Structure 1
Amino acid sequence: MARTKQGKRSFGAPRQTSSGRWQARYTGPDGKQHTGPRTWEAKDDCLGWLSEERKLIELGVWTPPAERRKAEEAARTAHVLTVRRYCDTWHENTANTHKPRTRTLYRGYLNNVILPELGDLPLDELTSARVKAWFAKLAPFPTRNANAYSLLRTIMNHAVDEELIPANPCRIKSAGTKKRKVEPIALSPSEIRHIASLMPERWRLLVLVAGFGGLRWGEVTALRRSDLKLTPDDCAVTVARAVARIKKEVVIDTPKTEAALRTVSLPPELYQQIKAHIGTYAGAGRDGLVFPNDSGEVVHANTVRKQLKKVAEKVEMPKLRFHDFRHSAATLFAEQGATLSEHMAFMGHTSVVMSKRYIHANPARNREMAQRMWAA
């Protein structure tokens, strides 16, 4: 312990640094040396801090200064609205707005992409520069990154609406636009029929319904007998539900959007095939699945994917995916002269942009329309 000029023993050891400022040091009840949280210009201020520390020891309420500072910081942070707290609150408050599959995806984007980098920031300190820096450092997964960015932008729009921030900091041009990793394949009607013929008999109609009706995997595998309208002149399917797998659990619910609730006409040439398929493979009763697996349950995507992969190799289209049948239906429907609104209704899209992504320009179709213009 140091001594004062009067010879009295003082607490701690104030030390003047090379800069002329004063640093406080003392040995605590734990036998370790502790220093002040900063340096002081005046020695009296340094001694004042040491005096406060000594009082805490005498009262028996002393804790190490570093631990005390951490606790104080945590207490201050608890009252700060961080990006993490706001995102978590938004996710809870929208529980009844999104489908279970969507909620699972959003939770994954928050936990794995957004919050690790931005979560601890105070909400009002999330600037455009910080968002750009975060987005630039993301690993190269274009679709995931676009979805995560779009989610963050949506959540920040809510923060703007609630007047918690003055403007949305998510302003990166085209960051939310999904970029295809693999270009889809647009099949001709004869190619769709040929591929279907090479599939195991159980899955031939499934390919034809997807290829000429444009149904998504979850929609076509959720079809029940009651969803079919069958006459020799009019075949149609009504999309009333969709299958999703969430953590290996099969969930059958209404489709993701109201636009997906639709009735799609199929070529009447499929009438006999549909009747034969139902008689052989469909589940019993009006609620029987149209395309069940061997056990009568919802078929797993891998079951059909394995078979499709074998067929794709045979027809020399190794990159063919099941989703390409939906894409092909969209392209073929557009080529018949469908208006954009008709196309959106056929595909179950909610926006013009979504339908445009599925429409391919066809040179032969362009030539035909040019000739019609000349002859008009």
Structure 2
Amino acid sequence: MGKRDWGRIRKLPSGRWQARYPGPDGRLRPADKTFDTKADAAAWLADKQSEINRDEWIDPDAGKIKLAEFGSRWIAERRLEETTRERYEIAFRVHVVPYLGDVELAKLKEGRVRTWRKTLEDEGVGKASTAKAYRVLRAILNTAVDDRLIRRNPCRIPKAGDDGSAERDAPTLDEVFALADAVPPRYRALVLLGAFTSLRFGELAALTVTSVDLVEGEVHVRKSQAELRGGRRLVKGPKSKAGVRIVAIPKAILDDVRAHVEQFSEPGADGRVFVGPLGGKLSRHNFRKVWVKALAESKIGKTDVHFHDLRHTGNNLAARAGATTRELMARMGHSSVRAALIYQHASREADRKIADSMSKAVRKARKAAKPKGHARGTPGDLAG
């Protein structure tokens, strides 16, 4: 055994060389591999000493905690909205723990993560659920890196956290009114406001009578209703400050909203605007039955329209009306420009189609009016 100024090197009976070093905790620790030569072992020790001097040393025993234990603790200790915590817990318990729960953090490498994700896909787990599970796992392991339990996050698959959801078609104006006519009268204003104020179902369910200004024609969004497992409903504040907003109600539907408040809303300033037939709070699950029936009875020829798709109709209309990015963000309750830009892009595409149609009409008219002998392609011809 040879002694050094820092660390130790010895030759093993196999002929290979072992390196050991004093960790910051005072324990003499062996390298995680053996070496062909003494010089290789010495070089490894020099790197390890430099690592400790830079305060980048990772305790090799720290990463022996199993993913199931660390992830469950991460979800329990993290400051999350109750609904967000529930989504994280379900994604982790259903799609991560059965496959990776018994793996120690230090042994969870990139290849294992790739195999896990491919297994989810092969078993028919949807893209959105797979992406959500990947995002949860990546966030958990980011904290493991911060806590110096592992050196590097093995979740390194490009775009694996993108759910890749296909862009959904927004209902047309005729389809919106067909659905509003098909639902029971107490839900007509719910459908119209969902389409023309772009409020989410949870925001509509949380509206109180004082939230709807029938004089100015405005909806004041301050709260949102979330639904948890077991059917429990929770009224809470929005996810961001942008969620608290005032949205103008188009005058074309103001009479419908006024009639609804007078006939169906709970009495009193704090009464809920929308309630069920027996006076209970709106429930996504119960309303879903009403919605599916309305889809069939409206004869719009579509069975895969979601209530949330109404919001896309309103956003598209606002974009085509010339709303700026900031105006769209304010109306939608978004703090990010990403979603607003999507609708503005759609609006520009629609405007381009209009311009193209105009060009065709102009070219047709010019061609009909062109005198004989007029050369094609001269400055007098519009290219459109």
C-alpha distance 185-360 of structure 1, shift in aligned 2 (>3 A): farther
Matching residue of 2:363:
none
Distance 2:114 2:234 in 1: 37
CA distance in 2, matches of 1:311, 1:359: 30
For residue 70 of structure 2, what is the amino acid of its counterpart?
Y
State the partner residue of 2:256. Answer: 273
In structure 2, relative to structure 1, the CA distance for the partners of 1:167 and 1:333 (3 Å cut) is farther
Which residue pairs with 2:88 in the alignment? Answer: 106
Per-residue deviation, 1:151:
1.1
What secondary structure does 1:185 align onto? Answer: coil
Q: Which residue is equivalent to 2:15? A: none
TM-superposed CA distance for 1:367, in Å, is 3.3
Q: CA deviation at 1:305?
A: 2.6
CA contact 2:218–2:247 (8 Å) conserved in 1: yes
**Is the CA contact (8 Å cut-off) linking 2:63 and 2:149 kept in structure 1?**
no
Rounded Cα–Cα distance in structure 1 between residues aligned with 2:355 and 2:197:
25
Aligned-pair CA distance for 1:325: 0.5
Shift of 1:127: 1.6
Deviation at 1:168, TM superposition (A): 2.1
**1:367 maps to which residue?**
353
Identity across aligned pairs (percent)?
A: 33
| SS of alignment partner, residue 92 of structure 2 | helix
Tell me the TM-score normalised to structure 2 length.
0.69
Look up the equivalent residue of 1:258 and give its one-letter code.
K
Q: Distance in 1 between matches of 2:280 and 2:257?
A: 19
Amino acid at match of 2:244: L
- Correspondence 1:131-142 to 2 at 5 A: 131-138=113-120, 139-140=123-124, 141-142=126-127
Q: Which residue of the partner structure matches residue 66 of structure 1? A: none
Query: Where does residue 58 of structure 1 map in the other structure?
Result: none
1:205, 1:274 within 8 Å by CA — same for their partners in 2?
Answer: yes
Task: Give me the whole-angstrom Cα distance separating, in 2, the residues matched to 1:157 and 1:350.
Answer: 24
Check conservation: 1:261, 1:348, Cα contact below 8 A: yes
Query: Which residue type is aligned with residue 291 of structure 1?
Result: F
**Which residue number in structure 2 is paired with residue 45 of structure 1?**
none
Aligned position for 1:353: 338
Contact 1:213 1:326 in 2 (8 A): yes
Q: Which amino acid aligns with 2:353?
A: R
Kept after mapping to 2: 8 A contact 1:110/1:148: yes
User: RMSD of the alignment, in Å?
Assistant: 2.6
Write the distance in 1 (CA, Å) between the matches of 2:343 and 2:102.
40
Cα offsets for 1:52-90 (capped at 9, x unmatched): xxxxxxxxxxxxxxxxxxxxxxxxx99932222221221
Query: What is the aligned partner in structure 2 of residue 253 from structure 1?
Result: 236
The residue aligned with 2:209 is 225
Question: After the TM superposition, which of the residue ranges 357-366 and 119-128 deviates more from structure 2?
Answer: 357-366
Structure 2 residue 174 is matched with structure 1 residue 203? no
Cα deviation for residue 369 of structure 1 reads 6.0
**Residue identity in the other structure for 2:197:** G
The residue identity in structure 2 corresponding to 1:203 is Y
What is the CA-CA distance between 1:331 and the residue it aligns to?
1.7
C-alpha distance in 2 between matches for 1:201 and 1:326: 20
Q: Please say if 1:214 is aligned against 2:214.
A: no
Task: Give the C-alpha shift of residue 150 in structure 1.
Answer: 0.9
Provide Cα deviations, 1:144-203, integer angstroms capped at 9, x if missing partner.
Answer: 11111111112222222333322221111121111336x523123343233212322111
Q: 1:369 to 1:127 in 2, by over 3 A?
A: farther
Unpaired runs of 5+ in structure 1?
1-76
The Cα of 1:209 is off from its aligned counterpart by: 0.4
Q: Which residue of 2 aligns with 1:82?
A: 66
User: Which structure is larger by alpha-carbon Rg, 1 or 2?
Assistant: 1
Give the distance between the partners of 2:74 and 2:293, measured in 1 at CA: 45
Q: Is the 8 A contact 1:330 1:359 kept in 2?
A: no
1:193 matched to 2:193? The reply is: no
Q: Equivalents in 2 of 1:317, 1:359: separation in Å?
A: 26
Look up the equivalent residue of 1:343 and give its one-letter code. Answer: L
Change (3 A) 1:124 1:340: farther
SS in structure 1 opposite 2:306? coil
C-alpha distance in 1, partners of 2:62/2:141? 21
Question: Could you tell me which residue of structure 1 aligns to residue 76 of structure 2?
Answer: 92
What is the number of equivalent residue pairs in this alignment? 293
What is the CA-CA distance between 1:280 and the residue it aligns to?
Answer: 0.6
Structure 2 counterpart of 1:103, which letter? R
Q: Aligned with 1:150: secondary structure?
A: helix
Is residue 63–residue 105 contact of structure 2 (8 Å, CA) maintained in 1? no
- Cα 1:110/1:100, change in 2 over 3 Å: same
- How high is the TM-score relative to the length of structure 1? 0.71
| Residues 216-244 of structure 1 deviation map (CA, whole Å, 9 limit, x = unaligned) | 1111111111211221xx31112211112
